[in-house]
Structure 1
Amino acid sequence: MKKIQPVLIICALLASGMLHAGTECDKRYYSPEWHAQAPTVNAFNYVRAETDMQFRNYATVYKAFGKFAHGRKAYDVNKQVTQTGNRDTRYSFGVFDLSKSPLTITLPDTKGRYMSLMLISQDHDIYPAYYAPGSWTFTQEEIGTRYVMFGIRTFADPNDDKDMAEVSRLQDMVKVEQKDKGDLSGLKKWNEKQMLKLREAYNTLGLSLPDSSTYFGVKCDRSYLMNAMGAAVGWGGLQRRDALYIPATVKKNDGKTPYVLHVPKDVPVDGFWSVTVYNKDRYMVPNELNAYAFNNVTAKKNKDGSTTIHFGGDPKADNYIPIMDGWMYVVRLYRPRKELLDGKWSFPEARVAK
């Protein structure tokens, strides 16, 4: 008998109303009843399975349990744990157990440099970001799950050694206070093959949306379906008020047809904008030029202040990024202004190079 694909199951559930956007319906999909079915992964516990796996990977691969593991270099393309990672910021990650005692995190004064602290619960709740400087305390009662992960993004120019050194200094000033850090024994182990199939299905649905504006938030802010698509397309993304993520796939993404993206001088953001290229699986592909992304600081400007990014074509062109068969790109807009959030201003799209 032919197996029914996960994406068809999800579409059927959506049509039946079982993945309704109402908050009362949503709360059912975060109940212990679904979590108790581990290791089996289904459409309704996918988010918890994906998040538990992500937490375990970060805690073990980066040795980031009960403390922050600071990335001292630009995002390592040879050690990618999460899809759609970025190289515009230096990451700091930490997975914490709140069951034993509260946790306090303090960010230093960055003198205006972008540094944000984001919180992710086991239900993939994404809380509004906290910005340096400041100090905040978190409890299990407040967050609602035993484990949480915090991610710190600090803007860094990978082409400037002095700037990279300053980022390291700021990272070292981040302070963590917790009397009892607990342990990882409460993280369930899920069926990875089942989880990956559900990820693919939700990812397929997610690609039908023009941007990430409805993906990220807390339980009552968006439907379970939106949460699941967000976890599949870009797990751990910032809330819409803190960042807009625009995934884009061109028609001729065969890796041979070059494209260009013309970005105007004034993009309405209070943080910064960036463009990153990924393969069909949403991972960066290592290349000899070490070219994966450009932003409004690292990109070379045109005479009028605008920026032209070259996808494929002449490797000697300004702001050149190699492409591959099935490639796509993601635009990130940090701290977007009102005109972006209201849809009155749209980021341009890539066009076939002439």
Structure 2
Amino acid sequence: MSDLRTAAREAYAYALPLIEVATTRQRGQALGQRMGVFAHVRSLANHKHRAVTTPNTDTLYSTAQVDLSAGPVTITLPPAGDRYLSVALMDAYTNNFAVLGTRTTGPDGGTFRLVGPGEAVEGWNVVRSPTHHVWVLARVLVEGPHDLEAAREVQAGLSMQGPPCEAPGPYADRNAGWRDYFASAAALMAANPPPVTDLAILRRMAPLGLLEGFDADRFSEAEAAEMEAGVAEAREAVRGGGGLGGTQFVDGWSYPDARLGDFDQDYALRAAVALGGLAALPPAEAMYMQAEGPGPRRLFDGTKAWRLHFPADRHLPVDSFWSLSLYEAMPDGQFFFCDNPLDRYAIGDRTPGLTRNADGSLDIWIGHDSPGTEREGNWLPAPAGPFALFMRAYLPRPELLRGYYRMPPVELA
């Protein structure tokens, strides 16, 4: 029975990305989103947006769920010029197998053919997915309120064409009991077979019979108790897994694992990101760094005043932009924006009214209470409770990617 407990623990974490993507797809369907068609979010995220954990408020999102078992899909990117644009293509296990856009395909747009595994299609513009189910997530930079309409025009140039297909499911969510959770995991794995490089963990999960079609009724009460215990252990481990930022901190900040966004065999990292940072980009596209707070789960207390100070010669090295986002911490390990008097959920190099000190340095003031009228342009409001800070650095330069540059710590003001 100990093998069942271990198998259940590993299988819960292994399948969590599949489950989270399916849950996201089902939420979209409930809002009328169709398979194989871009749904454009025409406004920036705020405290009311709670569909996906750790959202950003710097870019407009466009999202599409695709089933390539029905045939190839054509994706068109518009010319974006100097504006940051990325179109992430994620397989069913949340690996970014390609990112189209500013960094990779350039500023002039283009048309690309997305094909499934085993599809006999070739060409310079063909992108092959490892799984039939693909989540396409586009981000279009908004420079500020004055730029929203121009960003929407670029967003409107994104399009997708392909054969009609029905949405799969329904599937259980991450809080379901072990019976429904593993039944859904088995169905999702059948539709999106794991790669051969996962054979080692699949053998450890074999006592559950997920690849043969899960049959919950074949387990005794004692075996069911072992599986419940394994699932409970996995849930606790995933909640403490660090999400976007990881668990290792240097001078008050965590830095992304090189495998973020394309996880290889790091199933623990993949599960933690599925819970705490679903759809994260790989570091070459954007680096996500979490500040280390003194409280439980490395969180900060909004009733205290905090400061992030960038010396004049230590500004973030990026080729696009940077943004510091503040999130209210949820008990289940997820993070969302919180309501505040400035309607400000992030602060960055494009924030209107942001001012530097006379010597060129930069102070960002963080907390529930205003730091004073003269500092409000540099204020990032917090809830009167636990919160997390994440820095996003888009198109990081080599010194940031390779660890030569380190963020200054967040300190009590």
Q: Tell me the TM-score range normalised by the shorter chain.
A: 0.7 to 0.9
Q: Distance in 2 between matches of 1:291 and 1:73?
A: 14
Q: Which residue of 1 aligns with 2:305?
A: 258
Q: Which residue of 2 aligns with 1:37?
A: none
**SS state at 1:213 partner:** coil
Gaps of 5+ in 1: 1-8, 20-28, 35-41
Contact 2:38 2:159 in 1 (8 A): no
C-alpha offsets along residues 89-130 of structure 1, whole Å, 9 cap, x if unaligned? 111111112111111111111121001110111111123421
TM-score, normalized by length of structure 2?
0.70
Match of 2:268 among 225, 238, 243: 225
Gaps of 5+ in 2: 103-108, 118-127, 182-230, 249-253
Match of 2:364 among 309, 328, 332: 309
Cα gap change, 1:288 to 1:201, in 2 (>3 Å)? same
Match of 2:378 among 311, 319, 332: 319
Q: Distance in 2 between matches of 1:89 and 1:264?
A: 27
Matches within 5 A, 1:163-174: 163-174=147-158
Q: Distance in 1 between matches of 2:112 and 2:36?
A: 16
Match of 1:292 among 337, 345, 370: 345
Q: Distance in 1 between matches of 2:372 and 2:35?
A: 41
**SS state at 2:20 partner:** helix
Q: Distance in 2 between matches of 1:244 and 1:184?
A: 33
**SS state at 2:405 partner:** coil
Contact 1:105 1:175 in 2 (8 A): yes
Q: Distance in 2 between matches of 1:85 and 1:203?
A: 18
Residue 254 of structure 1: CA displacement? 2.4
Which segment drifts farther, 78-87 or 121-130? 121-130
Is 2:231 aligned against 1:188? no
Cα gap change, 1:168 to 1:315, in 2 (>3 Å)? farther
Q: Which residue of 1 aligns with 2:316?
A: 267
Match of 1:213 among 248, 254, 257: 257
Which segment drifts farther, 295-304 or 341-350? 295-304
- Give the AA of the match of 2:351: T
Contact 1:126 1:216 in 2 (8 A): no
Cα gap change, 1:199 to 1:322, in 2 (>3 Å)? farther
Match of 2:116 among 124, 140, 163: 140
Q: Distance in 2 between matches of 1:264 and 1:116?
A: 30
Residue 73 of structure 1: CA displacement? 1.3
Q: Distance in 1 between matches of 2:266 and 2:53?
A: 22
Contact 1:54 1:82 in 2 (8 A): yes
- Give the AA of the match of 2:87: L
Cα gap change, 1:270 to 1:211, in 2 (>3 Å)? same
State the structure with more CA Rg: 2
Q: Distance in 2 between matches of 1:183 and 1:254?
A: 46
- Give the AA of the match of 1:169: E
Cα gap change, 1:338 to 1:59, in 2 (>3 Å)? farther
Contact 2:75 2:111 in 1 (8 A): yes
Which segment drifts farther, 140-149 or 55-64? 55-64
Q: Identical aligned pairs, as a percentage?
A: 25
- Aligned length in residues: 315
TM-score, normalized by length of structure 1?
0.81
Cα gap change, 1:326 to 1:311, in 2 (>3 Å)? same
Q: Distance in 1 between matches of 2:342 and 2:49?
A: 18
Residue 186 of structure 1: CA displacement? 4.7
Cα gap change, 1:262 to 1:43, in 2 (>3 Å)? same
User: What is the CA RMSD across the aligned residues, in angstroms?
Assistant: 2.6
Matches within 5 A, 1:37-56: 42-56=12-26
Cα gap change, 1:165 to 1:228, in 2 (>3 Å)? same
Residue 311 of structure 1: CA displacement? 0.5
Which segment drifts farther, 201-210 or 82-91? 201-210
